[in-house]
């Protein structure tokens, strides 16, 4: 699973007055894990997503999605298992 919106995640942490370290302790992960996830460098398993959302007092679906956001293209999503039209793939991705 992946963060839906990195800014919303940071906003929720600020509203709760919770640091990455404190959130990590409540969700039983490391602070480095929270940092990587917050910057879009890693996804999370569903049970970890649930623990993070619960620690922030929101539903998992509010924070996380099953689709991987394409970098640099706000709002465009690519599902990991769905077929892709080669004409719409970024230039750096090889055709399937």
Domain spans, the chain: 2-78
Q: What is the topology classification, in CATH, of domain 2-78?
A: 434 Repressor (Amino-terminal Domain) (1.10.260)
Q: 68: which strand partners?
A: 78
- Identify the pLDDT of residue 70: 58
Question: Within 20-88, where are the H helices?
Answer: 20-27, 31-38, 46-56, 60-63
- State mean pLDDT over 3-32: 92
Categorize the per-residue pLDDT at 29 as very low, low, confident or very high, splitting at 50, 70 and 90.
Answer: very high
Residue scoring higher pLDDT (19 or 67)? 19
Q: What is the pLDDT of residue 24?
A: 95
Residue 84: predicted pLDDT:
40
| Mean pLDDT value across residues 28-36 | 94
Cα–Cα distance for residue pair 44/34, rounded to 1 Å: 10
Answer yes or no: is pLDDT of 22 > 80. yes
């Amino acid at each position: 699973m992946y963060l839906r919106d990195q800014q919303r995640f940071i906003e929720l942490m600020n509203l709760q007055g919770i640091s990455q370290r404190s959130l990590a302790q409540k969700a039983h992960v490391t602070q480095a894990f929270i940092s990587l996830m917050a910057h879009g460098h890693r996804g999370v398993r569903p049970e970890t997503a649930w623990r993070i959302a619960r620690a922030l007092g929101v539903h998992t679906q509010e924070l996380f999605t099953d689709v991987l956001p394409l970098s640099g293209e706000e709002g465009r999503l690519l599902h990991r298992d769905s077929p892709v039209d080669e004409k719409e793939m970024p230039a750096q991705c090889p055709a399937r």
